Amino acid sequence: MRTVWLLLVLVFAGLAAAAPAPKPVMAHYMPWFVAKPYSSSWGYHWTMNHYDPDSIGANGRRAIASWYYPLIGPYDSADPAVLEYHVLLMKLAGLDGVIVDWYGRDNYLDYGINNQRTAALFNFTKKAGLKFCLCYEDQTIQHEVDGGYITAAGAAAHAQQTLRYAETNYFVAPSYLRWSNQPVLLNFGPQYFKASADWQSIFSVLNATNQPAFFTEDNRLAVGAGAFDWPPMWMSQSNGGVLSAAQLEPYLAGFEEKALTPPAWPAFTSSAFPRFHDIYQQAGVSASYGYLDDGGGDTLRESLSRAFTNASALVQVVTWNDYGEGTIVEPTLDYGFRDLGILQDYRRQYLDAGFSYHTNELALALRLFNLRRQAATNAVISAELDRVFTNAASGNPALAGLQLSGLETARPVIYNALLTGGQLSFAIGGYLSTAGLQVETASNLNTTAWQTVSSLPAAASQPTFTISVSSEGRSVYFRVRNAGL
């Protein structure tokens, strides 16, 4: 019989939620993964038409298009359990939100599928209290023209429609990231519309309150607020395909100098990254873009330190999960939680001395994910897991950990016990039987004569118990048992 006891020893878990950083720290996120266990097929970004994830090696890993392996295995970007895991990790790591690599909404190639996954992620970032913005890939226009999906003559009008969709579905949301009261929009390029006048025309269809703070790669357009830097892998070609620290430092310094030299840009976004190790050549996709060594975490530490301390308006972590290029800070079997631990430490050191989350708490997200998998059809346990997520994301990791421990050991837990004006009340969490709960009391721990004082039915709502207690100074004990176990 699984039983939890209350000896009127109160445990409180109320850590303050992390304060927002002086400048937002955003992770560049790829929403394009499709996995067979969730969607009945393996998508291109796990296979690159070369690897077969159904093939499992002696090390237990599926064959995927990456040198690195997700801690939870190859996943689907539409899976709610995965999205919950990701956004909770981001919150615990000290990230303020995500920049989603966005190809628009068209049902062409996988653009529409990716947009569905983008919208699903957006909903989860709101639950976690994270910011959200888009990095629009206008290379899609060229692909759609080449494929006959649109005409070159209609390209600008099509881009206008795409941005109107972004305005209606993303820009107007309270959690969408804004700079100087403008929705932030990055562009990986530009690659098709290369003139500032092109973008002025595209943005002209948007409401005056939603004219974007526009950031392009490396160089600012006149219509834009500024630009962002990115691992300059093109520089590696002069060094045998390896990007050295001696090459990287002047690139990063030169980008900042360009942004700050009068007339200075209104703003710039500074990127930080752990490494670059693509698998394109091995997959037969293209030649490799080059290699940037991880340096035992020093590449991330040095680029984060620069981004956190320079005059940038935003910090972009490159990337959360680009497995094809190896720039992942998401936990992997290869690096564990190391990169997110570095993010925590550097946020605390440079941006927010009161940041309360630490490396050990990152495992809460993994524990929650594993329990989601086990309790997929159990509405009572699923509701308790919802409460775990809320507690962990809102600054109560100790309470979330207590609930998870109860779930993992199939025991209920008692918390938030209060004795006020002769009334004892407490919440019941952890493992909750679908047969309900029994609250029992006795005046002697050695007795077998426990008396049931309340039977609580199984329900998705939070079980709570309240009873009047005497102030005569006698001992009283309570225990909670799962009925039917």
Q: Is 6 helix (H, G, I), strand (E, B) or coil?
A: strand
3-state DSSP: the chain helix, strand, coil percent, rounded to 5? 35, 20, 45
**DSSP summary character for residue 17:** P
CB 227 within 8 A of CB 265: yes
Distance separating alpha carbons of residues 324 and 125, to the nearest angstrom: 24
Sequence-separated (6 or more) residues with CB below 8 Å from residue 92: 340, 344, 357, 361, 362, 364, 365, 392, 397
Long-range pairs for 72-76: beta carbons < 8 A, 24 or more residues apart: 72/366, 72/369, 74/33, 74/35, 74/42, 74/46, 75/33, 75/35, 75/38, 76/33, 76/34, 76/35, 76/37, 76/38, 76/39, 76/43
Q: How far apart are CA 158 and CA 151, in angstroms?
A: 9
* Locus of tokens 């594993």: 370
**Secondary structure E strands in 7-109:** 25-29, 97-102
Phi then psi dihedrals of residue 279, to 5 deg: -120, 20
Determine the longest span between alpha carbons in the chain, in angstroms: 87
The torsion angle over the Cα atoms of residues 108, 114, 115 and 119, rounded to 10 degrees, is: 160
Q: What angle do CA 199, 201, 204 make, to 5 degrees?
A: 105
- Say how many C-beta atoms besides its own lie within 10 A of residue 150's C-beta: 20
* Closest alpha carbon to 98 in 131, 126, 146, 74: 131
Q: Walk me through the domains of the chain, giving residue ranges and CATH numbers.
A: 3-13+387-482 (2.60.40), 25-355 (3.20.20.80)
Nearest partner of 124 among 149, 98, 146, 93, judged by Cα: 98
How many residues can be counted in the chain? 485
Check: CB of residue 273 under 8 Å from CB of residue 320.
Answer: no
Give the sign of the dihedral formed by CA 144, CA 146, CA 152, CA 156: positive
Query: Measuring CA to CA, how many Å separate 166 from each of 34, 118, 129?
Result: 23, 11, 20
Per-residue pLDDT of the chain (485 residues; tens, 9 = 90+): 455 554 443 333 333 445 566 899 999 999 999 999 999 999 999 999 999 999 999 999 999 999 999 999 999 999 999 999 999 999 999 999 999 999 999 999 999 999 999 999 999 999 999 999 999 999 999 999 999 999 999 999 999 999 999 999 999 999 999 999 999 999 999 999 999 999 999 999 999 999 999 999 999 999 999 999 999 999 999 999 999 999 999 999 999 999 999 999 999 999 999 999 999 999 999 999 999 999 999 999 999 999 999 999 999 999 999 999 999 999 999 999 999 999 999 999 999 999 999 999 999 999 999 999 999 889 999 999 999 999 999 999 999 999 999 999 999 999 999 988 889 999 999 999 989 999 999 888 887 788 999 999 989 999 999 998 876 667 788 899 998 77
Sign for the CA dihedral angle at 244, 247, 251, 254 comes to positive
Query: Contact 229/252 with Cβ under 8 angstroms?
Result: yes
